[in-house]
Amino acid sequence: MASPMRVTGAWVQLLSDWLDRENLPAPELRAVLDSRGPADVVDLPLWRRLLEQAVALRPGATAPGLAIGALVQPRHVGVLGYLTLTCQTLGEVMLAYQRYESLFYGRDLVQVQAGEAGMTLRWPGEASLGTLADSVSIAALVTFMRRLLEQGLAPRRVRFVFPAPAPAERRAYRAFFGCPVAFDAPHTEVVFPLSFLGLSLPRSDAGSRALLDRQARALLRALPDSDGFDRALQHTLVALLPEGRVSLARVAARLHVSPRTLQRRLARRRLNWQTLLDRTREQLAGHYLADPSLTLGEIALLLGYSEHSAFSRAYRGWTGRTPARDRRDHPPGS
């Protein structure tokens, strides 16, 4: 039996940001939004109700779902925000989204296909979240990619399952996405030109930059006297850890050196492979635990552990405490 679809507390904070931008007090609505922590699960019926209540405060607004989705930042997507930091190109981002979408919606839904038409991201019609929620999701997806690339890329086409809105709204959808937009489609779909897949991510977007800066500080604590090669080594580790197959041989291959050369470089620093791996994981664990949008299971994934229990055992070995206790005793912002 398929798991029920849901979103995260971090995602619904998009609505809080929209209320702020629209200068809407909405105390009752905000109370519900604020009661959900970033890592909490929010079921879809509640998410849809919250959206409907919010846009009802702006009667007559044109395509409000697009405006809400356009506010997306890495903090709204939790673990997926960190996973994009391991990607070098937009194509890698799309594949990472496909691989880990279940962390966001609770289920694997998207199909990613490459063909003559381009790179297609497609969601089955039965997975539609409704007019407002679908609009928010697809607007956020395209906005997030635009921010990663720091350019206003336009998809080749966008399709929605829900019925066509009024002419003014149809024009708003086309203007937002910069491409033809169809409605009453059998599935939700976004198609990007194949040429976009190789586009490099510049990493100077403010949201991504903040994540990278905090990550860099954590890595500096792992190797305080690091040089250029050490930093390249650590960044390679961070990129490979979520795949769960990190090894000295794979890291050496990414760095274009032999495993023996890498071992010699570590030995000069009085390190071995396991010590480096443990030290890097320990410092990243503290960094991730400080982010309330991440669950302990997602932190385990980012560190390359197949199970939360394996991460907890390792963390106890490093610190003498459990990650759950450290998060409870030292909550973010304390």
Give the model's confidence band at 204: pLDDT under 50 very low, under 70 low, under 90 confident, else very high.
Answer: low
Contacts of 61 (CB under 8 A, 6+ apart): 55, 67
The percent of residues above 70 in pLDDT, for the chain, comes to: 97
For residues 170 and 98, membership in a common domain is answered with yes
Choosing from 198, 230, 261, the residue where a domain stops is 198
If you average pLDDT over residues 310-332, what whole number do you get?
Answer: 87
Choosing from 178, 198, 218, the residue where a domain stops is 198
Rounded to the nearest 10 degrees, the angle between the axes of helix 27-34 and helix 44-55 is 150
Contacts of 207 (CB under 8 A, 6+ apart): 73, 74, 75, 81, 147
The answer to the question of residue 213 being in a domain is: yes
**DSSP H helical segments within the chain, as ranges?**
9-21, 27-34, 44-55, 64-69, 79-84, 90-100, 102-105, 131-149, 167-177, 206-222, 228-240, 248-255, 259-268, 273-289, 296-302, 308-319, 323-329
Specify whether the CB–CB gap between 7 and 38 falls below 8 A: no
For residues 89 and 235, membership in a common domain is answered with no
Is the pLDDT score of 176 beyond 90?
yes
Specify whether the CB–CB gap between 149 and 212 falls below 8 A: no
For the segment 119-169, what is each residue's pLDDT rounded down to a tens digit?
999 999 888 889 999 999 999 999 999 988 888 889 999 999 999 999 999
111-115 and 157-159 strand pairing: unpaired
For residues 221 and 193, membership in a common domain is answered with no
Give the model's confidence band at 99: pLDDT under 50 very low, under 70 low, under 90 confident, else very high.
Answer: confident
If you average pLDDT over residues 82-88, what whole number do you get?
Answer: 84
For residues 181 and 216, membership in a common domain is answered with no
The answer to the question of residue 1 being in a domain is: no
The answer to the question of residue 56 being in a domain is: yes
For residues 184 and 325, membership in a common domain is answered with no
The answer to the question of residue 301 being in a domain is: yes
For residues 148 and 177, membership in a common domain is answered with yes
| Domain housing 28 | 6-198
For residues 80 and 138, membership in a common domain is answered with yes
181-182 and 157-159 strand pairing: parallel
Distances (CA, A) of 20 to 15, 36, 71: 9, 17, 11
The answer to the question of residue 55 being in a domain is: yes
Specify whether the CB–CB gap between 85 and 73 falls below 8 A: no
Q: What is the CATH number of the domain that holds 211?
A: 1.10.10.60
Rounded to the nearest 10 degrees, the angle between the axes of helix 273-289 and helix 259-268 is 80
For residues 296 and 191, membership in a common domain is answered with no
Choosing from 181, 198, 215, the residue where a domain stops is 198
Structural domains in the chain (count): 2
At residue 35, the pLDDT reads 93
For residues 14 and 105, membership in a common domain is answered with yes
For residues 252 and 157, membership in a common domain is answered with no
Q: What is the CATH number of the domain that holds 159?
A: 3.90.1520
Is the pLDDT score of 325 beyond 80?
yes
For residues 320 and 190, membership in a common domain is answered with no
Is the pLDDT score of 323 beyond 80?
yes
For residues 194 and 222, membership in a common domain is answered with no
